[in-house]
Structure 1
Amino acid sequence: MNALQLTSEHASDFVVITVAGELDLATRPYLLAFAQDIIDTSPGTVVVDLSGVAFIDACGLSALIAIRRHARERGTPLLLAGAPPAVLKLLKLTNLDASFTVVSRSASADPPPGGAQDVPPLRAGLPFADR
């Protein structure tokens, strides 16, 4: 069984990437490839739903940083949604909390900056191979 599950939900002006499982050295390349592909092909805001993340380490954090950089290079607004306490703590400890736009899962029903009008309900994802 894969330690990481990734899915995406597309709307006209945003995409929600749902991440579930572990973000670490072994899963970093899968998240990067998945997110970069979506950023490269999506016309609007990208929301990364982290509510299903059970574990994150420095490699997982570096994946989020690389995704943020990739989004900035392409002019794509990026939001982190539903980050569990462990992710929020890691962002704060590394002083990266100000580098990301972080919204709570309940706040994701509000329009995110960058033009999205409605964010769909955030759901648990399917395995990466099923995207």
Structure 2
Amino acid sequence: MPAAFEARSEQLSGPVRRISVVGELDLDTAPGLERELQAARADGSTPVVLDLSGCGFIDSSGLALIVQSWRELESADGVSLALCCAGDQVERLLRVTGAYDAIPIYDSLGDALDALR
């Protein structure tokens, strides 16, 4: 049985929207995250932090969704997307694919919030 997946969105002060990813981000679960990212894009001007502290695995479809969303948000009047709290496996994927050098990635939620405010 696949692990449970959840993408939760909450508005933080600043204003910044945090989307927390819990579980494995893959072909089957990516649509759940995509819905939250689309809602963030619809907001227009709110920076987004994608909190990966609960995500232990991302496949190519999940990575493609993150990169595509980052590009779309960055091109929408300077709205920002940053990642935070990536575990070792996820960080390794981001480094190997070059996403680590393109997308802002922070060790902690606090660091990401400081950068986006």
Structure 1, residues 5-33: CA drift from partner, whole Å, max 9, x if none? 11112134111111100110111122112
Matched residue of 1:97: which SS? helix
Structure 1, residues 10-67: CA drift from partner, whole Å, max 9, x if none? 1341111111001101111221121121132153221100010022111111111121
Give the letter aligned to residue 16 of structure 2: F
User: After TM superposition, where is structure 1 displaced by more than 6 Å over at least 4 residues in a row?
Assistant: none
Give the letter aligned to residue 7 of structure 2: L
Tell me the residue number matched to 2:93.
90
Give the letter aligned to residue 4 of structure 1: F
CA distance in 2, matches of 1:15, 1:28: 19
Equivalence map 1:18-29=2 (5 Å) = 18-29=20-31
Q: Percent identity?
A: 32
Structure 2 residue 80 is the aligned partner of structure 1 residue 40? no
Structure 2 residue 110 is the aligned partner of structure 1 residue 109? yes
CA distance in 1, matches of 2:23, 2:17: 20
The offset of 1:82, in angstroms, is 0.4
- Answer 1 or 2: which has greater helix percent: 2
CA distance in 1, matches of 2:62, 2:46: 24
CA distance in 2, matches of 1:27, 1:18: 13
Structure 1, residues 74-121: CA drift from partner, whole Å, max 9, x if none? 12111101011111100111112111100112xx2244324x2xxxxx
Matched residue of 1:66: which SS? helix
User: Does the CA-based 8 Å contact 1:24-1:58 persist in structure 2?
Assistant: yes
Q: Which has the higher contact order (CA 8 A, sep 6+)?
A: 1
User: Does the CA-based 8 Å contact 1:14-1:46 persist in structure 2?
Assistant: yes
Gaps of 5+ in 2: none
